[in-house]
Homo-oligomer: A and B are copies of this chain.
Amino acid sequence: MTLTLTPLQGIPMVQSGDDLSAFIAEAMARAGLELQSGDIFVLAQKIVSKAEGRLIHLSQVTPSDKALELAKESQKDGRLVELILQESREVVRTRPGLIVVEHRLGFVSANAGIDHSNVMANGGDAVLLLPIDPDASAEALRTKLEVATGQNIGVLIIDSHGRAWRFGTVGVTIGVANVPSVLDLRGQPDLFGNELMATEVGVADELAAAASLIMGQADEGIPVVHVRGFPYELEAGAMDELLRPKQGDLFR
């Protein structure tokens, strides 16, 4: 019944084209861990994006007029704002230092999840976009690990998001393979047999937050966490099950 999260040490700096499944297998061996059915790997978005070559140099970006206007309003680099707009469906809020968007992947996030920490030495001009299709990235990695080991495992790709109302970023799911995203416990009896009315639990996001806690955010460099003891059956999930459709969202 115990949930165990183990940071995998010694994952090397990831380059475009790298095979993350090989890095993970090596790190598991180093940690003396043997893969079991039901295990889950949680990956920081950053290494998936790097492996997929999502690094962009700002010097190669030409901002549109719209980007330049929004750059003034948000006091950000116009080229960065151009990338934020390209990666987004719409701008939700702006203030100095912050652009909140609906990302093309559907979630609401600051700056379209575009990252410029831990991206390059010498503080260069590179930024990192999110993976093109994180669910597909997770599934590709899951398949490779399953083929290599014969075990039924899950994969989660996570990022850190700010929240409405509450301070502090928390880990959230941006890609998922073979992990349930939301479990609907409606209709299951509570302790006294009364029917529960509405309990849709964002279990993938709860796991994302747990893994984020031990990844750290700065120079620890632990981009993969091994999870054992996830308390539900592994089954197909999709990131967009965790998203509230815009029409039903009271807070945009």
Interface residues of A (CB under 8 A from B): 1-7, 9, 13, 93, 95, 100, 107-108, 117-123, 160, 163-172, 181-183, 185, 188-194, 196-197, 199-203, 205-210, 212-214, 216-219, 221, 229-231, 241-244, 249-252
Contacts and interface: CB of A to CB of B under 8 A. Distances in A.
A169 B160 CA distance: 17
Nearest to A250: B93
A107 B170 CA distance: 16
A199 B216 CA distance: 10
Lowest 9 CB-CB distances: which A-B pairs, in order? A168-B202, A210-B210, A209-B209, A164-B251, A164-B164, A206-B213, A168-B182, A108-B165, A206-B209
B182 A199 contact: no
Contacts of A163: 163-164, 202, 244
9 contacts: A1-B6, A93-B251, A107-B165, A166-B205, A167-B202, A170-B201, A171-B206, A203-B213, A206-B210
B192 A121 contact: yes
A107 B210 contact: no
Contact of A210 (B209, B216, B251): B209
Nearest to A215: B231
Given A164-B165, A166-B242, A203-B168, A192 B120 contact: yes
B118 A242 contact: no
A119 B229 CA distance: 28
A117 B196 contact: yes
A72 to B, nearest CB: 19
Contacts of A205: 166, 168, 170, 209
A200 B170 CA distance: 9
A168 B181 contact: yes
Nearest to A13: B191
Contacts of A95: 250
A168 B200 contact: yes
Contacts of A171: 206
Nearest to A97: B198
